[in-house]
Amino acid sequence: MNASADSQPLPPPPGADETAGGMPQLEKYFRAMMKAGASDLHFKADTPPHIRVNTLIRPTRSEPLSGAEIAAMAQEIMTPAQREYFAHHGSLDLAHELPGADRFRINIYRQRGAVSVAVRRVTRNIPDFDALHLPPAVKSIAEEHNGLVLLSGPTGSGKSTTIAAMIEHINRTRPCHIVTIEDPIEYLYDDKKALINQREIGIDVENFESALKYLMREDPDVVLIGEMRDRETFQAALQASETGHLVFGTVHASTAAQTIGRVLDLFDPGSRDLVRQSLAFNLRAILCQKLLPAIREGVDRVPAVEILRSTPSVRQLLEERRDAELSDLIRASERDGMQSFTTSLLQLIESDFVDPKVAYEAAPNVDELKMLLKGISASRPGLMGR
């Protein structure tokens, strides 16, 4: 179902003969989700089921379900303890896995007196670097053996997918123990050379604090700590990186310099110099992403990526509180595996992945990008007029 979300009907509402002794009715919807390539599924009383495909949510051609039918499907996959919890709290997180297939993170909640269900599909299909059109430097960053790697960008910028590709590269190439702490789990990994344990907040462990408390006792070599949203989470990531582990995490920020600022804002002013020193010593890379609509056939979106690599010059700027100069340093250090957003956008235009007008809208410095494009357009007439 690539063209539109309503071109693939979902299964009919459950009948008494379908649910008794057979597979849970929700599993039939899960399989339909997989067939449709949907990332999310939503049930609301007296409304057709909705699915999300390629970021867009649309109704399906299935008949509306009553509140009682949705409640019955939800009850099928709950344990007695979960039913009791839901009765008292009105909301419940749980997970369900199809044997040999995908995993589904389910939130069951009440709204306007009826039961609604939101389902997130957690896929085993992890694209590699080439499929994601990521720059070669991303692979070399994944091959670090210690330190801190931060992925930044707005919601929906592909951070989790890039991290998944990096974790899967480690999984295929390095015998080690990988522990992930996620809220929610985004991708499922099958052990290859690595042993991978994935802990989901609210399902496998109560909260980030509890998960981080026991992290070092689990003997990890590589750690993924989902979103770094508070001081405790980032402090644990720094401590893990200081003790010889390779740590991945995500931050909501638009540039490398802004990423440093967001991290420091998590700490009180009296602690920030120590955090700076730790970052200067342990930071290995910051990757900032923006997803842009593609014009190449068969490609929906491509990432524009700014890359900051740890070098003596970067460490000096961090220690001297000269974060504002990081963007200039990236532009001057592209031979060291760094990459500015402008260079990334230029490469996407040259490779016919992105329309120049789209690149201008995403560019941090439109005039700089236009100047660089002038040299290209001279040899490729018509490029600037797209």
Angle at 312 between CA 248 and CA 160, to 5 degrees: 15
Residue 68 CB partners (closer than 8 Å, separation 6+):
none
Query: What are the phi and psi torsion angles at 368 (to 5°)?
Result: -65, -45
pLDDT reported for residue 100: 80
Type and span of the H or E element at 177: strand 177-182
Q: Are 104 and 122 within 8 A, CB to CB?
A: yes
18-27, 145-154, 228-237: lowest mean pLDDT where? Answer: 18-27
Mean pLDDT along residues 133-145: 96
Domains, in order of start, for the chain: 16-122 (3.30.450.90), 129-379 (3.40.50.300)
Q: What is the pLDDT of residue 336?
A: 86
Beta strands at 246-251 and 222-227: parallel, antiparallel or unpaired: parallel
Q: Report how far apart, in Å, the C-alpha atoms of 200 and of each of 95, 145, 204 are.
A: 9, 24, 5
The pLDDT of residue 1 is 37
The predicted model gives 128-143 an average pLDDT of: 96
Question: Among all chains, which residue has been given the structure tokens 């339909």?
Answer: 32
Question: Torsion-angle region of residue 22: left (phi > 0), alpha (psi -120 to 50) or beta?
Answer: beta
Q: CA-based Rg of the chain, rounded to a whole angstrom?
A: 23
Question: Which residues are CB-neighbours of 23 under 8 A, at least 6 positions away?
Answer: none
Greatest pairwise CA separation for the chain in angstroms:
71
28-76 pLDDT, tens digit per residue, is 999 999 999 898 999 999 999 999 987 789 999 889 999 999 999 999 9
Specify the pLDDT at position 20: 44
Q: Where would I find the H helices in 174-253?
A: 208-213, 231-242
- Per-residue pLDDT of 330-363, as tens digits, reads 999 988 889 999 999 999 999 999 999 999 999 9
238: tokens are: 């720094």
Residue 269, phi-psi category: left (phi > 0), alpha (psi -120 to 50), beta (remainder): alpha
Q: If you count them, how many residues does the chain have?
A: 386
The DSSP result for 58-73, as a single string, is EE-SSPPB-HHHHHHH
Q: How far apart are CA 303 and CA 354, in angstroms?
A: 10
Ranking 4-13, 102-111, 155-164 by mean pLDDT, the lowest is 4-13
pLDDT at position 311: 96
